[in-house]
Structures are given as structure tokens and as C-alpha cells.
Amino acid sequence: MKIETQVKIEKLNKKLIKVNADLDRCRTSVIQDGWQTQRHAKKSRKWDFLAQEKIKLIQEIEILETA
């Protein structure tokens, strides 16, 4: 593997770690936030966005590793 590819993979792994940490902080709780509140909706939207970002990062890492 080229050094450039390894550097890209390391950067993507760092982003992935950050996204995972954000996902852990963003878990919705009906008990804390209530049901059908703005806070719950905001956390839910953020959760969806971060989950999509995580999937993209994992796919990019796999593509670079197999290349």
C-alpha cells in the first residue's frame, strides 16, 4: 500500500472515531427528553446524519484497503 493511502485511511479512522463518540453522546432518551419534543427530534435528526456519515466513512476505508 502506498503511504498516501495509509495516511488517508488514518484520517478516515480518526473521523470515524469522532463520529462514534458523537453517536454515543447523541443517543435519544425518551425519559430525559420527552416524547415528541424539539429536543428529541433534534437528537433523532443528528443521530440519522451521523449514522449516514459513519456508513460512508466505513465504505471509503474498505475501498482504500482493498485497492
User: Which cell numbers in the block locate residue 2?
Assistant: 502506498
Q: How confident is the model at residue 1 (pLDDT cuts 50, 70, 90)?
A: low
User: What pLDDT does 34 receive?
Assistant: 82
| CB atoms closer than 10 angstroms to residue 8 | 14
| CB atoms closer than 10 angstroms to residue 19 | 20
Q: What is the pTM of this model?
A: 0.86
* 61-66 CB contacts, 8 Å cutoff, 24+ apart: 61/9, 61/12, 61/13, 61/16, 64/5, 64/8, 64/9, 64/12, 65/9
Query: pLDDT digit string (tens) for 14-67?
Result: 999 999 999 988 876 777 878 888 988 888 899 999 999 999 999 999 999 997
Q: Which residue has the cell 430525559?
A: 32
* Domain residue limits, the chain: 1-25
Average pLDDT of the residues in 4-23? 96
